[in-house]
């Protein structure tokens, strides 16, 4: 007779957000992050109050459909349910160029929970802005969306190639009703299945919104 397992699952949280500071690289030509102080206690003020400037694309963020088409919804209208739930992390750091279903090991074109996070190994948390990174082929995106993809996240600065002008991956995802996370920090994340929590800030009219992204894994206590 075997003893009954009385252990209980406990949640372990993994922060996959890039720390934003004035040294965080922005997309070349975009507005960098900066901070100034409206009030400072060191100057005799009663409180410390800061003022931030910078592009919402600096650091971990969710792109909005408005980013690529002025007729489409802005960031404050992003559906929250897409950013919370089961997610699969796949390591593609050994690949260059276009990624196919075979590259991802997803022959059926389906991802558990409909949320896919790609660890490309080209994360801005390492310091410099990367010169290139692997990205999904457009037909692969359409196959994944047809298979139920709800969200694509990458640790690279974009789901498209750095030199892309058409942003075909962005468009294919948005046209299929999927959402986008960029500039994740997946350096210490083991590939596998997790629960994702990554809600965009609700700021009206923006083309993107900052996100605090977290993965949750269950362990036996």
Residues annotated as catalytic are: 67
Name 102's Cβ contacts closer than 8 Å, sequence gap at least 6. none
Give the up-direction half-sphere exposure of residue 113: CA atoms within 13 A in the CB hemisphere: 20
User: Phi/psi at 119 (nearest 5 deg)?
Assistant: -95, 100
Neighbours of 103 (CB within 10 A): 18
Name 88's Cβ contacts closer than 8 Å, sequence gap at least 6. 111, 112, 113, 115, 116, 117, 192, 193, 194
Residue 70 burial (C-beta neighbours within 10 Å; 0-12, 13-18, 19+): exposed
User: Phi/psi at 200 (nearest 5 deg)?
Assistant: -75, 145
How far apart, in whole angstroms, are the C-alpha atoms of residue 37 and residue 56? 20
Question: Mutual orientation of helices 138-146 and 168-175 as an angle, nearest 10°?
Answer: 10
């Amino acid at each position: 007779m075997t003893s009954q397992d009385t252990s209980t699952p406990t949640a372990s949280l993994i922060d996959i957000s890039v720390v934003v500071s004035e040294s965080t690289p922005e997309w070349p030509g975009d507005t960098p992050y900066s901070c100034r102080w409206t009030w400072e206690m060191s100057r005799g003020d009663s409180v410390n109050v800061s003022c931030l400037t910078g592009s919402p694309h600096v650091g971990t963020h969710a792109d909005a459909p408005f980013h690529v088409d002025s007729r489409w919804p802005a960031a404050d209208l992003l559906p929250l349910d897409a950013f919370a739930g089961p997610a699969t992390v796949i390591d593609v750091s050994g690949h260059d160029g276009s990624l196919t279903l075979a590259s991802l090991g997803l022959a059926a074109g389906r991802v558990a929970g409909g949320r896919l996070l790609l660890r490309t190994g080209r994360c801005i948390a390492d310091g410099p802005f990367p010169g290139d990174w692997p990205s999904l082929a457009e037909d692969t995106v359409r196959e994944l969306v047809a298979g139920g993809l709800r969200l694509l996240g990458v640790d690279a600065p974009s789901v498209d190639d750095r030199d892309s002008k058409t942003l075909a991956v962005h468009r294919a995802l948005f046209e299929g009703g999927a959402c986008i996370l960029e500039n994740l920090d997946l350096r210490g994340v083991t590939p596998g299945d997790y629960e994702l929590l990554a809600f965009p800030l609700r700021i009206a009219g923006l083309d993107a919104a900052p996100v605090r992204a977290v993965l949750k894994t269950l362990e036996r206590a």
